[in-house]
Chains A and B, each alone.
Chain A
């Protein structure tokens, strides 16, 4: 696993700074971006240039670049995964294709968005290995395997963004954008679980695929702000009602199995 992580780390521009956390918000908060945000929604043609202007007034600090690059690497993997899945003949049944086309559209949009925000600070795109270094050899021929890996990637994405929210919180616009991507990943994860005959949420740290266990480690937590909610409506519901974050190390360990090193 260490070698896998190293490969992903190499894809990031500033790996040493990834663990740096912002302990508290900057005293001076960013502001005045809302008007630009409205323009973004109504002028898609100018998206890229406007986004750059809105988010990169002056160079972004490494404390924000690193979490965004972690997100970008995940989005690269997700985006490549769905492109490969949709291209694999006979893999996704026609009944479910609309779901994956929508998911794929969003992951591609997240890549474009994050690349635009990061500019020349963006991470290099890792070479994609859909089999997770052999853990899922039939992922592009067996639809059930494809669904399981899809769910794992989406739940990893949810946990990764959640874990980085505090690290980008000094910039209101980037925090809000990250939160908005985060909830889209959660919608994806829920819908893919629906396609697998589940409800949409994570119970305990349960997974029906052993190789995905690291993605759910710690999800059984029921204590938040020192309040244990396990006794409120039963332990299962208590674990489902709160999704848990993953730290950088854990995300890299998971993502590392789907990337085989950077393209220079």
Chain B
């Protein structure tokens, strides 16, 4: 039964896309199909919208990040969700030999990422993507090295993401908020790097800061490609800028 309905769903979405292209005459056909679909038991709000946009959080459709500034903010929200989930796990199952200082520092970072996540959710309101499922099976949470190296990766990725996405924010209030957050991510990155290699050049190492003294930067599409393996929920990243 479910399968049958799902199949019907796919067909209807296909028709919906055709509708977009062809206009009013086809729209009438689409309306007729909708009625038929409701008649066989589909919910009326099952994703058939004239805009052709997929419903957020559907079982089969990838998450739609939105457009314009909301695309960038949802992209940031996804990253903050990933980081928040990671540090929640880090604190829930501390690595062996964790010191009080490390525990306190990582718990601070966890709180910051939770705040970033919940801030974006509140700011985006009804435009927010749903809560994402994450997958950390490649992280050994019992191992200090594994946890801190993953943390370093996430923090540097976050810095590079905000640095690369800033130019896509048209609303300067959003740009300012991104600036308020990215420097905290950079503080995290330096502190984590200091835990891995104390009192060395690693906190702002030559692997992330170039010869002009400029920090790491990545395009939204590249950041998404790096983060996606950790996110189980399917996200449509095809609209993210590639430059």
User: Which A residues fall within an 8 A CB radius of B?
Assistant: 22-25, 34, 40-41, 44, 47, 51, 95-96, 98-99, 101-103, 105-110, 112-113, 158, 161-162, 165-166, 169, 172, 175-177, 179-191, 194-195, 199-201, 224-225, 227, 229, 232-234, 237-238, 240-245
Contact = CB atoms under 8 A, between A and B. Distances in A.
Nearest to B172: A166
Contact of A183 (B105, B112, B170, B186): B186
A200 B183 contact: no
A40 B115 CA distance: 36
A213 B54 CA distance: 51
Given A25-B170, A200-B191, A99 B200 contact: yes
Interface stretch (B23-31, B36-44, B157-165): B157-165
Contacts of B187: 186-187, 189-190, 200-201, 243
A242 B181 contact: yes
Interface stretch (B145-153, B211-219, B230-238): B211-219
Contacts of A34: 243
B115 A187 contact: no
B201 interface: yes
Contacts of B162: 179, 183
A109 B163 contact: no
A101 B172 CA distance: 35
12 contacts: A40-B212, A158-B183, A169-B175, A179-B182, A181-B214, A200-B188, A238-B115, A240-B108, A241-B112, A241-B115, A242-B184, A243-B180
Contacts of A195: 199
Interface residues of B, number: 56
Interface stretch (B58-66, B92-100, B202-210): B202-210
Given A101-B201, A105-B213, A112-B212, A245 B163 contact: no
Given A102-B204, A158-B183, A182-B182, A95 B199 contact: yes
A113 B180 contact: no
Contacts of A182: 179, 182-183, 215
A56 to B, nearest CB: 15
Given A110-B212, A201-B184, 6 more contacts: A99-B199, A109-B211, A161-B179, A191-B190, A225-B177, A242-B181
Contacts of B123: 224-225, 227
B118 interface: yes
Contacts of A225: 123, 173-174, 177
A23 B170 CA distance: 11
Interface in B111-126: 111-112, 114-116, 118-119, 122-123
Contacts of B176: 162, 165-166, 245
A162 B119 contact: no
Interface in B131-159: 159
B194 interface: yes
A241 B166 contact: no
Contacts of B177: 224-225, 242
Contacts of A25: 170, 172
A98 B200 contact: yes
A101 B184 CA distance: 23
B211 A44 contact: yes
A102 B167 CA distance: 28
B189 interface: yes
Contacts of A99: 199-201, 203
Given A172-B167, A199-B108, A240-B108, A232 B217 contact: no
Contact of B108 (A23, A102, A201): A201
A25 to B, nearest CB: 6
Most buried by B among A51, A96, A102: A102
A194 B191 CA distance: 7
B111 A233 contact: yes
B116 A184 contact: no
A195 B112 CA distance: 21
B204 A188 contact: yes
B180 A184 contact: no
Nearest to B213: A109
B182 A47 contact: no
Nearest to B197: A98
Which of A47, A195, A225, A244 has the most chain B CB within a 10 Å cutoff?
A: A225
Contacts of A184: 186, 204, 209, 213-215
Nearest to B182: A183
8 shortest interchain CB distances as A-B pairs? A109-B213, A186-B186, A186-B183, A237-B111, A190-B190, A190-B187, A200-B191, A102-B201
A24 B174 CA distance: 12
Nearest to A174: B167
Nearest to B201: A102
